[in-house]
A = this chain, B = another copy of it.
Amino acid sequence: MYKSIKDILDNPIIESEITVKGWIRTKRSNGKISFVEINDGSNIKGIQAVIDEEDSNFQEKELKRLATGASISLTGILILSPAKGQTHEIKTISFNIIGEADQETYPLQKKRHSFEFLREIPHLRIRTNTFGAVARVRNQVSYKIHEYFQKNGFVYVNTPIITSNDGEGCGEMFRVSTLDLKSISKGKEIDFKDDFFGREVFLDVTGQLHGEAYAMALSKIYTFGPTFRAENSNTTRHASEFWMIEPEIAFCTLEDNIKLAEDCLKYILREVLNNCSQDMEFFDNFIEKGLIKKIENVINSNFEVITYTQAIKKLENTNKAFETKPYWGIDLQTEHERYLTEEIFKKPTVVIDYPKEFKAFYMKMNEDNKTVKGMDILVPRIGEIIGGSEREDNLEKLNKRIKELNLDVETLNWYLDLRRFGSTPHSGFGLGLERLVQYVTGMVNIRDVIPFPRTPKNICF
């Protein structure tokens, strides 16, 4: 297969004949020479091809077809570039415009487009510098997550997407159905026995419960898949469909869990800086000044670990005017989370031992019977990037909590089996892929770090 521009530039052979295939990003001409920037998505900068317009090999009508957005195959000699802005360029021998892009209608002309505008054309925005860089960094983050867990002996498990369980007990789920709505509107009884699976089912909000079953046999597992929330939240940090990584580890305490999360995050950040340096420089220059320095600081820091109770005290003792006044017994709001990590500790901060009221039923109760062994990892600008806990491994205590919360014991009976038979202390966490990519790239809106974002009342294709 043909070589990518990145491959060519990673090992440049000066004076060799090369062929590149890609899309024209820009074309300039001084009437004698055309400068054509070709990008194939393998790197952010692409490569510049220089075309001698006076060379009789090039027909005028072909030269006219050189335009932004067109696809091209171009052959020439790789030379050191005399001009600024690139190390190498191509002295063109021949080229072939494969597919044109009508300049009147092609939406991506050479000018800056707002992210809002680009969100309306998610199938084309990937052809811009920003979204190309996001895609490459997202790819790197995803792969390095797999690599990290594989190197550490975790088994990748695909927990189900369609589920008859309500994982968090939160209730805001999408129904999945093939029931005929028209018949129902005409008076046919709603009977989920007639539905595809013979019962009412939903899109998963977490793979954790199913993941726990696998951890109770394989010891160390992780999931990496899509997750859904039918919440009507229109923020820059919430999407209705997002990807989540959920490791689950048997014989693992909350403390081990925190160490794992910290080690994992640092591994990913290091690898992204090492392997996506051009893209990261782009983000540092155009999206968030100082981004690379900030990430290096995180890699070299020790995450702060404090209890919820300590965190509340810290927040009470500041002069900051919060919208919601902090006191023991309230759930931490994003403004509190960000203040803790951005202002007080100035580094990633792990808050543990939350009041049981704010946390899911499966979290292990502390001795005080008021707080649970939950942990949230907060990072500057994003707030919560990881949420996890040690799980309640005691059958009686878990049963009690399920009843207290009026959850459906019947649908959770299988989950209780994991405590009936060979129960062990175990822990895990959920890492939101999009939030991590936001954090790494500096992109402000979650809609801009997932290829085709889904948010309330909003779905493109």
The reply on A23 being an interface residue by CB < 8 A is: yes
- Chain B nearest CB from A428 CB (Å) reads 13
- Chain B nearest CB from A268 CB (Å) reads 14
The reply on A241 being an interface residue by CB < 8 A is: yes
B196 with A190: CB separation less than 8 A: no
Q: Smallest CB-CB separation from A178: which chain B residue?
A: B230
Other-chain contact of A153, B6, B122, B163, B177 (Cβ < 8 Å):
B6
Alpha-carbon distance A156/B243, docked complex (angstroms): 13
- CB-CB under 8 A for A21 and B132, given A4-B219, A459-B162: no
Q: Which of these binds chain B: A210-218, A298-306, A375-383?
A: A210-218
The reply on A115 being an interface residue by CB < 8 A is: no
A196 with B417: CB separation less than 8 A: no
Chain B residues lying within 8 Å of A101, measured Cβ to Cβ, are 420-422
- CB-CB under 8 A for A124 and B161, given A99-B393, A252-B1, A459-B199: no
- Chain B nearest CB from A189 CB (Å) reads 7
Other-chain contact of A41, B71, B139, B217, B414 (Cβ < 8 Å):
B217
B127 with A161: CB separation less than 8 A: no
Chain B residues lying within 8 Å of A226, measured Cβ to Cβ, are 158, 161, 225-226
Chain B residues lying within 8 Å of A181, measured Cβ to Cβ, are 179, 181, 184, 190
Closest 3 CB pairs of A and B: A41-B218, A99-B423, A123-B213
A105 with B420: CB separation less than 8 A: yes
B160 with A451: CB separation less than 8 A: yes
Alpha-carbon distance A450/B131, docked complex (angstroms): 34
Instruction: Mark out the residues of chain A between 161 and 188 whose CB falls within 8 Å of any chain B CB in the assembled complex.
Output: 161-165, 174-179, 181-182, 184-185, 187-188
B196 with A240: CB separation less than 8 A: yes
Contacts from A to B (Cβ < 8 Å): 1-2, 4, 6-7, 21-24, 40-42, 69-71, 73, 98-102, 105-106, 121-124, 126-127, 131-132, 135-136, 138-139, 142-143, 146, 150, 153, 155-165, 174-179, 181-182, 184-185, 187-190, 196-199, 201, 203, 209-210, 213-214, 216-220, 225-226, 228, 230, 240-241, 243, 249-252, 256, 260, 393, 411, 414-415, 417-425, 450-452, 454, 456-461
**Apart from A73-B251, A164-B461, what 9 extra A-B contacts exist at CB < 8 Å?**
A70-B422, A71-B422, A99-B424, A100-B422, A105-B420, A136-B155, A158-B450, A177-B177, A184-B184
